[in-house]
């Protein structure tokens, strides 16, 4: 697989990474652990080098899974994890708020190092901006961890342009991770120009719209109670019916290109900027291989113009998150 550099950081990774959250969290009953270990190792064999996890995924279990799976190939991979949520004292799923106080960051990093079985975290993101803690204090705490050799690179997630600039002035930000896809295009107005100016890489999560852009679901799809999509406004039956037009667009182009809608969606993202590295998630080997195939897709200027023209006429229905979670983004 081709490599890409995340901005000016010098951090080089595969053009597509792997989002690991769904292997143990959020999308219904988790698959068997040994199957996910095999999938993670198969992804390394196929050239993927960037793996994304977080302490809140589980909590903790996803980092443990990634740590065990990648320990034999540690020198071949880049592991990214995140801090920033105040987890429940009983260890159950979910969180009780945000916490990016420096002492909490240090404690979170020590836990992540142990669970990931590493001596250094390659890329450490603040998972969500904490309005109670100045971003300069957060960046300063991570800067100290970098100086101590416990972290290599600093990242932010779902941060606004002003916050990115303030953090970057204290400790250079290697990457921003935020949702971006053909049905979530908010970063284009202000975030992408800011990243371009500052030399920061962009790691889009949910590049396939949490599965919707693959064309494998419709208004009649039923979600388990443990699948968090059942709680998302954009995944109501009415919203899915309205948003099917975007999938139809992708499907038409995919048919012409002898590809799949997922491959077109990922190829579109890769074509936006050379410093964009999407991290689609999956729990199935054939989907992993399908996603990897997007790297070989060549979308011409005409293809991209056609997608832009048609997509601009489609109004995406439904918010990304419930209001309480949406308020945590774009700060």
- Taking only the tens place, the pLDDT of each residue in 52-87 is 999 999 999 999 999 999 999 999 999 999 999 999
Task: Give the separation between CA 136 and CA 331, rounded to whole angstroms.
Answer: 14
Tally of CA atoms within 13 A in the half-sphere of 193 that contains its CB: 5
The answer as to whether 91 is a domain residue is yes
In angstroms, the Cα distances linking 99 to 35, 106, 134 are 33, 12, 11
The answer as to whether 331 is a domain residue is no
Tokens of 5: 């550099």
Q: Do 6 and 203 meet the contact criterion of CB atoms below 8 Å apart?
A: yes
Question: Residue 280, exposed/middle/buried by CB under 10 A (0-12, 13-18, 19+)?
Answer: buried
The answer as to whether 253 is a domain residue is yes
pLDDT digits (tens, 9 = 90+) for 169-193: 999 999 999 999 999 999 999 999 9
Going by their DSSP bridges, the two strands 3-5 and 12-14 should be labelled as: antiparallel
Q: Which domain holds residue 8?
A: 3-326
Crossing angle of helices 285-292 and 33-45, rounded to 10°: 30
Rounded to two decimals, the pTM is: 0.97
| Mean model confidence pLDDT for the chain | 97
The answer as to whether 16 is a domain residue is yes
The answer as to whether 228 is a domain residue is yes
DSSP structure string for 67-125: HHHHGGGGGG-EEEEEE-EEE-TT--SSEEEE---HHHHHHHHHHHHHHHT-SSEEEEE
Crossing angle of helices 261-272 and 301-311, rounded to 10°: 110
Tokens of 207: 């590049």
Could you give the number of structural domains in the chain? 1
Catalytic residue positions, numbered? 57
User: From first to last of its 331 residues, what are the pLDDT tens digits of the chain?
Assistant: 999 999 999 999 999 999 999 999 888 889 999 999 999 999 999 999 999 999 999 999 999 999 999 999 999 999 999 999 999 888 888 888 999 999 999 999 999 999 999 999 999 999 999 999 999 999 999 999 999 999 999 999 999 999 999 999 999 999 999 999 999 999 999 999 999 999 999 999 999 999 999 999 999 999 998 899 999 999 999 999 999 999 999 999 999 999 999 999 999 999 999 999 999 999 999 999 999 999 999 999 999 999 999 999 999 999 999 998 999 999 9
In angstroms, the Cα distances linking 297 to 149, 170, 175, 208, 222 are 39, 39, 25, 16, 32
Q: Tokens 């080089």 sit at which residue? A: 12
At residue 235, φ and ψ (nearest 5 deg) are -110, 15
The answer as to whether 88 is a domain residue is yes
pLDDT digits (tens, 9 = 90+) for 100-115: 999 999 999 999 999 9
Taking the alpha carbons at both ends of the chain, their separation in whole angstroms is: 34
Q: What share of the chain is helix, strand, coil (3-state, %, to 5)?
A: 45, 15, 35
Q: Per DSSP, what are the bridge partners of residue 276?
A: 202
Tokens of 40: 């993670």
Which residues does 80 contact at the CB level (< 8 Å), separation at least 6? 17, 50, 51, 52, 53, 121, 122, 123, 124, 125, 155, 175, 177, 203
CATH number at residue 295: 3.20.20.100
Q: Do 220 and 183 meet the contact criterion of CB atoms below 8 Å apart?
A: no
């Amino acid at each position: 697989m081709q490599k890409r550099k995340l901005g000016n950081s010098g951090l080089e990774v595969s053009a597509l990474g792997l989002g690991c959250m769904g292997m143990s969290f959020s999308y219904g009953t988790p698959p068997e652990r040994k199957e996910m270990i095999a999938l993670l190792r198969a992804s390394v064999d196929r050239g993927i080098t960037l793996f994304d996890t977080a302490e809140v995924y589980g909590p903790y279990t996803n980092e443990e899974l990634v740590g065990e799976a990648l320990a034999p190939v540690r020198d071949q991979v880049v592991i990214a994890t995140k801090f920033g949520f105040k987890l429940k004292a009983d260890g159950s799923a979910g969180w009780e708020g945000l916490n990016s106080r420096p002492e909490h960051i240090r404690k979170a990093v020590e836990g992540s190092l142990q669970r990931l079985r590493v001596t250094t975290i390659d890329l450490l993101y603040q998972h969500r901006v904490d309005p109670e803690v100045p971003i300069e204090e957060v960046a300063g705490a991570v800067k100290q961890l970098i100086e101590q050799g416990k972290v290599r690179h600093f990242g932010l997630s779902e941060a606004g342009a002003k916050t990115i600039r303030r953090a970057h002035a204290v400790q250079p930000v290697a990457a921003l991770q935020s949702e971006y896809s053909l049905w979530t295009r908010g970063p284009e107005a202000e975030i992408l120009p800011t990243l371009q100016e500052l030399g920061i890489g962009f790691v889009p999560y949910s590049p396939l719209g949490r599965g919707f852009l693959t064309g494998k679901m419709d208004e009649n799809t039923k979600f388990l109670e443990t699948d968090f999509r059942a709680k998302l406004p954009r995944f109501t039956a009415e919203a899915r019916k309205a948003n099917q037009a975007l999938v139809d667009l992708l499907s038409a182009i995919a048919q012409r290109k002898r590809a799949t809608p997922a491959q077109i969606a990922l190829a579109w993202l890769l074509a936006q900027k050379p410093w964009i590295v999407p991290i689609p998630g999956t729990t199935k080997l054939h989907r992993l291989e399908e996603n990897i195939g997007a790297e070989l897709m060549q979308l011409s200027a005409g293809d991209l113009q056609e997608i832009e023209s048609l997509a601009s006429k489609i109004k995406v229905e439904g918010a990304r998150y419930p209001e309480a979670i949406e308020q945590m983004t774009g700060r």
